Structure 1
Amino acid sequence: MSDKTRPVVLITGASSGIGYATALALIARGWVVYAAARRVDRMAHLAASGCEVLEMDVTDDASMQAGVDRIVHQQGRIDVLVNNAGYGSYGALEDVPIEEARRQFEVNVFGLARLTQLVLPTMRALGRGRIVNISSVGGRIYEPIGSWYHATKFAVEGLSDSLRLELAPHGIDVVIIQPGPIRTEWNAISRESALERSGDGPYAAQAAALVSNYENVDSSPLAGTAEGVARTIVKAVTVRYPRSRYATPASAKVIVGLRRLLPDVLMDGMLSRLAT
């Protein structure tokens, strides 16, 4: 049954990490939360906490359409979409099969774009709404062994900037969240893919350096938490006039600031040293 007094949000990738923490944070604030992911079995606690759980695969158009239709049927609207689903596929460009590169774009870019297409008609009809796209500091900087992942996040940044201008006349905000080093299972998945594809061969040294750097994130005091990113997302969806971008935690703000200030030659040197 529709609840006209409570904001309605759809969050993708909600079975773990940032999406999971954001769902809990918004349900605690009294929102109507639809938590979507492929792994519904991992969202039992969200369901018990009051979230509506959706099985959704952002590479499956039918599941996205069914999810949006269900929310609109039950609530009459979607006030906020948090496009959080995504993963890091690592390995030297030469080593990554082009099929995997396409899948990285399907999940991180095209799934985000298609779900946005599906929610926009309702938002435009209301004359309001907010799209929150989870990018990364990886949409501002770059590193060896991560070309395909960074390409997707650069794409999300450009897509979001254009979309922000397209939708402003319709009263719809577009916000980018740029997490930096965060202690989640994302790190382990990214490390595993780097070793699987480039752990041996001409790029092995760079892959090993990346894995070591990402392992250090799990214990670094400069790394953030999923809950910390969730607090930033809550701010982005609740303030009256959101900023176009929020980098989080503090280390992410430093990284984005350095990229803004340093010329490519200095940035290349700094990032290359981290990869050896």
Structure 2
Amino acid sequence: MTAAPQVALVTGASSGIGKAATLALANAGFRVVGTSRDTSRITPADGVTFLDLDVTSDESVAAVVGQVLERFGRLDVLVNNAGVGANGAAEEISVAQAQTVFDVNVFGLMRMTRAVLPHMRARCSGRIINVSSVAGFVPNPFMAVYVATKHAVEGYSESLDHEVREHGVHVALVQPGPTNSPFDANMVQADSPLPVYAHRRRVYDDVMAESMRGGDDPALVAGVIATAATDAKPKRRYTAGSTAARVSVLRRVAPAWAFDRSVRKLNRMAG
């Protein structure tokens, strides 16, 4: 008797890394459910079912996970990819605006995780793959709120993995570097801009635009996600792309003063 295909659910699947991840997982033999706030604009793909999902809503999360379990009878892999950037100096972003970003990047991920864990624990099997970033382990001026969300995702994921591993569930982090995707075009812009930061913010915008244009193809990151979903012995962290791998090594081995200097040089900052 042929075993039923495994089922994967990918959040933030309308474009970029999420869209590529749905295709990579489908090609790896999964039945894939891709989600987005509005899936009506997404081009259908073989092996992929699309459902509307708002990760900031408890009701929406519960409904979608329920639909997946009712339709397929199982959920083997959750890819928490939905996220939003935030561009501006820390002082320029209100607490209310920061809470909005955290609600998607951190609390949305937590909602999804809590919704799938009872099923995975009951089956003693499952993988939760959280898409982090190099910003999860390095600073990035003028993106302090976004960086804070990714640092939170890193700490949450590693702690969670220790809690659920004995129940057959593994948690992995995928850490992309700059990726050629619409991410920068959809970033939240600071709601309280200050003249004192205006020049540096414009310089950083140029750095970010150049970085994204020269970034990795989303398909490369998607391939790493598929690897994390299928590895016989899953790792805790997977860097995705040469930039992420290089920065990860540099962070571990470079003296603090040298790493600090490299961050400022990369972002064209004085001092």
- Quote how far apart the aligned CAs of 1:101 are: 0.1
Determine the structure 1 residue equivalent to 2:223.
Answer: 231
Number of residue pairs the alignment of both structures matches: 267
98, 111, 122: which one aligns with 1:114: 111
Q: Name the Cα RMSD after superposition.
A: 1.6
**Counterparts of 1:27-106 in structure 2 under 5 Å?**
27-46=26-45, 49-106=46-103
Q: Which letter maps to 2:111?
A: R
Unaligned runs of 5+ in 1: none
Does residue 1:193 correspond to 2:189, yes or no?
yes
Does residue 1:262 correspond to 2:254, yes or no?
yes
After TM superposition, the score normalised by the length of structure 1 is 0.92
Q: Which letter maps to 2:195?
A: G
Q: Per-residue CA shift, 1:77-105, capped at 9, x if unaligned?
A: 11000000001112111111211100111
Does residue 1:209 correspond to 2:203, yes or no?
yes
- The SS at the match of 1:251 is helix
- Quote how far apart the aligned CAs of 1:141 are: 0.4
Please give the alpha-carbon distance, in whole angstroms, between the structure 2 residues aligned to 1:219 and 1:134: 20
Determine the structure 1 residue equivalent to 2:17.
Answer: 18
Please give the alpha-carbon distance, in whole angstroms, between the structure 2 residues aligned to 1:231 and 1:239: 12
Please give the alpha-carbon distance, in whole angstroms, between the structure 2 residues aligned to 1:163 and 1:4: 29
Query: Cα 1:102–1:219, aligned 2, differ >3 Å: closer, same or farther?
Result: closer
Q: Which letter maps to 1:239?
A: D
Would the aligned equivalents of 2:120 and 2:126 in 1 still touch at CA under 8 Å? Answer: yes
- The SS at the match of 2:91 is coil
Please give the alpha-carbon distance, in whole angstroms, between the structure 2 residues aligned to 1:188 and 1:91: 14
Q: Which letter maps to 2:169?
A: I
Would the aligned equivalents of 2:21 and 2:225 in 1 still touch at CA under 8 Å? Answer: yes
% of aligned pairs identical? 39
Q: Which letter maps to 1:41?
A: S
Q: Per-residue CA shift, 1:29-67, capped at 9, x if unaligned?
A: 331111111021232323xx2311110010011110000
Please give the alpha-carbon distance, in whole angstroms, between the structure 2 residues aligned to 1:31 and 1:62: 26
Query: Cα 1:218–1:154, aligned 2, differ >3 Å: closer, same or farther?
Result: closer
- Quote how far apart the aligned CAs of 1:256 are: 1.1
Unaligned runs of 5+ in 2: none
Please give the alpha-carbon distance, in whole angstroms, between the structure 1 residues aligned to 2:253 and 2:54: 39
- The SS at the match of 2:115 is helix
Determine the structure 1 residue equivalent to 2:171.
Answer: 174
- Range that drifts further, 204-213 or 50-59: 204-213
Q: Which runs of 4+ in 1 moved over 4 A?
A: none
Does residue 1:161 correspond to 2:153, yes or no?
no
Would the aligned equivalents of 1:6 and 1:31 in 2 still touch at CA under 8 Å? Answer: yes
Determine the structure 1 residue equivalent to 2:239.
Answer: 247
Q: Which letter maps to 1:12?
A: T
Please give the alpha-carbon distance, in whole angstroms, between the structure 2 residues aligned to 1:36 and 1:216: 29
Please give the alpha-carbon distance, in whole angstroms, between the structure 1 residues aligned to 2:263 and 2:222: 28
- The SS at the match of 1:152 is helix
Would the aligned equivalents of 1:92 and 1:197 in 2 still touch at CA under 8 Å? Answer: no
After TM superposition, the score normalised by the length of structure 2 is 0.94
